[in-house]
Amino acid sequence: MKGDLIMDFTKIKAAAQGYEKDMTRFLRDLVRIPGESAGEEGHIKRIEAEMNKLGFDKVEIDPMGNVLGYMGTGKTLIAYDAHIDTVGIGNIANWTFDPYEGFESDTEIGGRGTSDQLGGIVSAVYGAKIMKDLGLLSDQYTVLVTGTVQEEDCDGLCWQYIINEDKVKPEFVVITEPTDGNIYRGQRGRMEIRVDVKGVSCHGSAPERGDNAIYKMADILQEVRELNNHLHVDPFLGKGTVTTSEIFFTSPSRCAVADSCSISLDRRLTDGETYEMALEEVRNLPSCKKHGAVVTMYKYDRPSWTGLSYPTDCYFPTWVIPQDHPATQAMVESFRGMYGEPKVDKWTFSTNGVSIMGRYGIPCIGFGPGKENQAHAPNEKTWKADLVKCAAVYAAMPTLYCKK
């Protein structure tokens, strides 16, 4: 750290603690509004209202439906991103409480989206408020808090739009997905692959007259399973993986041989792997060659809640920020000043960083309330202490970064 900067960490912690009830109320309001991918309008409007109430300098909803709230007027743009869509609730019988009414105890808040990741937008909004309250904003930086859409459907698509169409390009971005109280500096990428094989139908009483596409796919499936055992291993991010996630077929009837079969593959890409490499690995499987399989990458083109469609390949690149990068150092220093030495690790799942850093090279660092194992699970919950801790760390970080 340069100069004689003295950061009053005690005052920042106290300010964050003072907003615990406000953050709890805000999060519970968001939980009560269903907001699955492409249906986030209620979440966006509630966040817009909170930003305006707290005195953000500018609040916009872009044509895709993302909400962008700005605090400050400095030249360096520092962003805090939270996707504000959720997955569905799944089998309601697995919940012990109403996922949209949620619950509140002295220490916890329950409900769909509390960890993944509505808590992130709550802490980011109040982190910016604390910066304003304590006079931490300077002519050096502007803070942008984004509530982004469709991440659960197509991670990073929102930021493709923000960067390419809104023409917004921060110097770095804090990803506020849940980090189990740690700081995360990377994640494996992923892609969605489709494999198609054709057959010839015939009456099921004489299957030798046809060419059963399901049997062809059965050969391929065994080789895909074996392929998973031989993928690249990165010392930090770990191993690439591939697994079959869906299977489809066509047949004239249940009394006929199937004339086509298709599968979807979930491919996780570790550092050093590319989508071209992953496609070729599947295309080169002996059974794919033998049966003339067609191997392609899926595309995503579902309209957002505003009706805007922004098609993209279902490819979500790997990203890793160095441990000695100024953004990593500033996050660590901010955490250390209030809560001790942090653990610096990585996500298991994927985030909007796949576009921000994976596609566009804008550095990302991760720190967010909640736990990864709560994501997409029944009885999802988060912790009030996490909301407070993240808001405090967020509030201190920009000043520390700008003094690097």
Domain identity same for 193 and 179: no
Does the global pTM surpass 0.85?
yes
Domain identity same for 54 and 101: yes
Domain identity same for 283 and 224: yes
Q: Is residue 1 part of a domain?
A: no
Whether 175 and 365 have beta carbons less than 8 Å apart is answered as yes
Domain identity same for 183 and 193: no
Give residue-wise pLDDT tens across range 303-344: 999 999 999 999 999 999 999 999 999 999 999 999 999 999
Is the pLDDT at 153 greater than 70? The verdict is yes
More confident residue, 389 or 2: 389
Q: What is the CATH number for 137?
A: 3.40.630.10
Q: Is residue 308 part of a domain?
A: no
Domain identity same for 107 and 225: no
Whether 184 and 366 have beta carbons less than 8 Å apart is answered as yes
Domain identity same for 24 and 112: yes
Tell me how many domains the chain contains: 2
The catalytic residue positions are 85, 151
Give the domain-ending residue among 265, 300, 335: 300
Q: Is residue 2 part of a domain?
A: no
Is the pLDDT at 3 greater than 90? The verdict is no
Q: Is residue 77 part of a domain?
A: yes
Domain identity same for 323 and 394: yes
Provide the pLDDT confidence category of residue 404 given band limits of 50, 70 and 90.
low
Q: Is residue 331 part of a domain?
A: yes
Cis omega (within 30 of 0) on the bond before 323? no
pLDDT reported for residue 392: 98
Give the domain-ending residue among 242, 273, 300: 300
Q: Which tokens in the block code for residue 86? A: 């959720």
SS3 content of the chain, % helix, strand, coil (to 5): 35, 25, 40
Largest CA distance in the chain: 86
Give residue-wise pLDDT tens across range 193-251: 999 999 999 999 999 999 999 999 999 999 999 999 999 999 999 999 999 999 999 99
Q: Is residue 143 part of a domain?
A: yes
Provide the pLDDT confidence category of residue 403 given band limits of 50, 70 and 90.
confident
Q: Is residue 248 part of a domain?
A: yes
Q: What is the CATH number for 235?
A: 3.30.70.360
Domain that holds residue 260: 189-300
Domain identity same for 232 and 125: no
Provide the pLDDT confidence category of residue 139 given band limits of 50, 70 and 90.
confident
Q: Is residue 312 part of a domain?
A: no
Beta bridge partners of 153: none
